[in-house]
Chains A and B, each alone.
Chain A
Amino acid sequence: MSVTAAPSWSRARQEPGWLARVFDSKPFLIVACLFPAVGLLMVFLTYPLGLGIWLAFTDTRIGRSGQWVGLENFEYLMGDPTFWTAVFYSVFYTAVATVGKFALGLWLALLLNNHLPFKSLIRAIILLPWIVPTVLSAIAFWWIYDPQFSIISYVFVDVLGLRDRYFDFLGSAWPARFSLIAANIWRGIPFVAICLLAGLQTISPSLYEAALLDGATPWQRFTRITVPLLMPILAIVMTFSIIFTFTDFQLVYAITRGGPVNSTHLMATLAFQRGIAGQELAEGAAIAVAMIPFLVFATLFSYFALARRKWQQGESND
């Protein structure tokens, strides 16, 4: 076939208009498509977070814009016993409440995984503590822990006659700390129980039957099948639970406001106390920023220690 004679049949292409050219250019499309999402993230996430971190390095007070002071706020906090009490209690609160929530939540999930009468009704009731607004349940607990009108004290002293003095739930440091932990556990169980129940239901009953045929005891079935198969979902739920508990504010602020004598301050409540109530915005911001490393550590720990198992990955042969 001769190439020389080939006539050009293609019609002269019409030059596209500027609008068409703009919409055809890749850089423009990337910017245009990403802008809404990036804009929202910048305005509602990055800006407040950045502002909070920036504030932590200034001496801003409410009503007075501040100057850059470097690490001065953190240096001050290092020598502040109240801050260290709050750090200790935040870690203690998170650790004990998480253990409590997962022990009771897993137990409840295992119970609900059996065939029970009125199963769906019970499951709905279980969710109640989680549905009720925190402040509302906090006020209820405040009432339950009241030195004078506590229902628990009433039952123990006036009904059963087991004690002759009312309980002192919130009056001194350690009882107050444990009372708050109990309230947090009560609130957190439904979330854990329902998530773990969902996890349990993904485990095929035939796995248990296979183990049963091989003579596995109920305990072996729990440790050899339930626990390893529940691990992935457990890791995710635990990460969330730790983050929610560590950053808890409402329960503590509504019940004790950090008292008595600052013994039940969490880092979040102390940050609010110093930053808003005490007007030292910069110091509050510094306390809030100090929470970040703890949260990063907790997240990484759950993610790497508990999450992805070799057996979950497909394909690869190693």
Chain B
Amino acid sequence: MATVSLRGLTKRYGAAVAVAGVDLAIAESEMVALVGPSGCGKTTVLRMIAGLIEPDAGQVLIGGADVTRAPAHKRNLGLVFQSYALFPHLSVFENVAFGLRRRRVPEAEIGRRVSQALALVRLEGFEGRFPRQLSGGQQQRVALARAVVTEPRVLLLDEPLSNLDAGLRDAMRVELRRLQQSLGITTIFVTHDQEEALTLADRVAVMRAGRIEQVGAPQEVYERPANAFVAGFVGRTNLLDAVVVGAADALLHLSGPGGVPLVVRGAAPPGARVRLALRHEKLRLGDAPPDAANVHLAEVALAAFAGAQCQYLLRLPGGLELQAEAPSNAVFPRGAQVTAWWTADDMILLPAETADA
């Protein structure tokens, strides 16, 4: 097992910059998610770590050693491809054994290690099958077994769950976490699904346009997003533009869209334009407790039942529209007048956006 660190990693395709100076340090046995919308460069970063793409600038260090120019097979990594990339003409056993054979491991040991790897992913008895005869989840596990059988220092996963249907994805998520923890292997995985990143990773790196916007524990990224992009990408969020009207007792009084008065904890000079994030589930409906700093009467413009939760689109008097998510024990029909409330701590004051907004 080893640490991985990326220093100023950059990749350009012609004039387009795919990855613009990514710095990231990954500790031993840590599981880190690179998450971002498609085209943000997360897969390019992963492929540069794997050695399939050569970076234009920057360094990749594995276990403290600079491997930026080392060929892929000298890096001792395991990679699970998004498409699994199983060899269709080889049996499950031969697929898993492929890397061992290339490393000239003795036949008896190959047998032992392949059975061990297949046991790890719970695929004993499937040795003779061909990939075509396996389901998506089984193929995925063969790909995992093939990646870990060579006892790599680092495991890389490219969109590991995106080709699976919803039920299987949840099962594989647990499986993946169990496997990673039992092997204690440093793992980096790429996903576009923020929920997957939050549930699976020790730390999450949110990427946009070739840059890392924020790195942190899932809770930290969720509770304290570094900027509007992270707030919008991770979790479901209402983003509000507001102007500071005044401050008192570490609370800011602001005027939101449509002149809606808002109260948030934080500090900013009067007259400053700020951005606020309000998570859907923090916006609550029904009778407001006395400490609720923000209480508004709203009309339910849309209501959608989603099992345990109900999703609402609320329209405030000033015309401001907010999305909310509430437990479905009380369902408000469309057109109903409800009281929407949240505390000064529920809303996040985002740092001033630098260049783009």
Answer yes or no: do A and B interact: yes
A-side interface residues toward B, CB under 8 Å? Answer: 204, 206-207, 209-216, 220, 224-225, 228-229, 309-317
Residue contacts A-B, CB under 8 angstroms, 24 given: A204-B83, A206-B83, A207-B85, A210-B85, A213-B79, A213-B99, A214-B98, A214-B150, A215-B74, A215-B103, A216-B73, A220-B102, A224-B87, A224-B98, A225-B87, A228-B89, A229-B88, A229-B89, A310-B130, A311-B91, A311-B130, A314-B132, A315-B133, A316-B133
Contact of A214 among B81, B82, B89, B102 (CB under 8 A): B102
Which of the listed residues B77, B78, B98 has the most CB atoms from chain A within 10 Å of its own CB? B98
A207 with B87, Cβ < 8 A, contacts A212-B52, A214-B99, A216-B102 known: yes
Question: In whole angstroms, how far apart are the Cα atoms of A209 and B130 in the complex?
Answer: 20
B-side interface residues toward A, CB under 8 Å? Answer: 50-52, 72-74, 77-79, 81-83, 85, 87-91, 98-99, 102-103, 128-133, 146, 150
Contact of B132 among A204, A209, A311 (CB under 8 A): A311
Question: In whole angstroms, how far apart are the Cα atoms of A8 and B70 in the complex?
Answer: 89
Question: In whole angstroms, how far apart are the Cα atoms of A241 and B31 in the complex?
Answer: 54
The minimal Cβ–Cβ distance linking A216 to chain B, given in whole angstroms, is: 5
Q: Kindly report which residue of chain B lies nearest to residue A227, judged by CB atoms.
A: B89
Question: In whole angstroms, how far apart are the Cα atoms of A204 and B89 in the complex?
Answer: 13
CB pair B85 A209 closer than 8 Å: yes
The minimal Cβ–Cβ distance linking A235 to chain B, given in whole angstroms, is: 14
The minimal Cβ–Cβ distance linking A32 to chain B, given in whole angstroms, is: 41
Question: In whole angstroms, how far apart are the Cα atoms of A310 and B133 in the complex?
Answer: 11
Task: List, in ascending order, chain B residues with CB within 8 A of A214's CB.
Answer: 73, 98-99, 102-103, 150
Task: List, in ascending order, chain A residues with CB within 8 A of B83's CB.
Answer: 204, 206
CB pair A210 B73 closer than 8 Å: no
A213 with B87, Cβ < 8 A, contacts A206-B81, A314-B132, A314-B133 known: no
The minimal Cβ–Cβ distance linking B116 to chain A, given in whole angstroms, is: 17
CB pair B98 A211 closer than 8 Å: yes
CB pair B50 A213 closer than 8 Å: yes
Q: Kindly report which residue of chain B lies nearest to residue A314, judged by CB atoms.
A: B132
CB pair B98 A311 closer than 8 Å: no
The minimal Cβ–Cβ distance linking A173 to chain B, given in whole angstroms, is: 44
Q: Kindly report which residue of chain B lies nearest to residue A228, judged by CB atoms.
A: B89
The minimal Cβ–Cβ distance linking B4 to chain A, given in whole angstroms, is: 16
CB pair B85 A312 closer than 8 Å: no
Question: In whole angstroms, how far apart are the Cα atoms of A228 and B91 in the complex?
Answer: 13
Q: Kindly report which residue of chain B lies nearest to residue A213, judged by CB atoms.
A: B72
The minimal Cβ–Cβ distance linking B88 to chain A, given in whole angstroms, is: 6
Q: Kindly report which residue of chain A lies nearest to residue B98, judged by CB atoms.
A: A214
The minimal Cβ–Cβ distance linking B14 to chain A, given in whole angstroms, is: 14
Task: List, in ascending order, chain B residues with CB within 8 A of A310's CB.
Answer: 130
Question: In whole angstroms, how far apart are the Cα atoms of A315 and B98 in the complex?
Answer: 23
Task: List, in ascending order, chain B residues with CB within 8 A of A210's CB.
Answer: 79, 81, 85, 87, 98, 146
Task: List, in ascending order, chain A residues with CB within 8 A of B82's CB.
Answer: 206
Question: In whole angstroms, how far apart are the Cα atoms of A204 and B87 in the complex?
Answer: 10
Question: In whole angstroms, how far apart are the Cα atoms of A206 and B72 in the complex?
Answer: 13
Which of the listed residues A207, A213, A220 has the most CB atoms from chain B within 10 Å of its own CB? A213
Question: In whole angstroms, how far apart are the Cα atoms of A228 and B98 in the complex?
Answer: 15
Which of the listed residues B103, B131, B133 has the most CB atoms from chain A within 10 Å of its own CB? B133
CB pair A311 B90 closer than 8 Å: yes
CB pair A309 B89 closer than 8 Å: yes
Question: In whole angstroms, how far apart are the Cα atoms of A310 and B85 in the complex?
Answer: 19
Task: List, in ascending order, chain A residues with CB within 8 A of B150's CB.
Answer: 214
Task: List, in ascending order, chain A residues with CB within 8 A of B99's CB.
Answer: 213-215
Contact of A212 among B72, B128, B129 (CB under 8 A): B72
The minimal Cβ–Cβ distance linking B195 to chain A, given in whole angstroms, is: 26
Q: Kindly report which residue of chain A lies nearest to residue B82, judged by CB atoms.
A: A206
The minimal Cβ–Cβ distance linking A309 to chain B, given in whole angstroms, is: 7
The minimal Cβ–Cβ distance linking B337 to chain A, given in whole angstroms, is: 56
Question: In whole angstroms, how far apart are the Cα atoms of A210 and B94 in the complex?
Answer: 14
Which of the listed residues A207, A210, A224, A317 has the most CB atoms from chain B within 10 Å of its own CB? A210
A311 with B89, Cβ < 8 A, contacts A206-B83, A210-B79 known: yes
CB pair B73 A212 closer than 8 Å: yes
CB pair A204 B85 closer than 8 Å: yes
The minimal Cβ–Cβ distance linking A248 to chain B, given in whole angstroms, is: 33
Q: A206-B82, A309-B89, A316-B133 are in contact. List 10 more A-B contacts (CB 8 A).
A: A204-B85, A209-B52, A209-B81, A211-B98, A212-B52, A213-B77, A214-B98, A216-B73, A311-B88, A311-B132
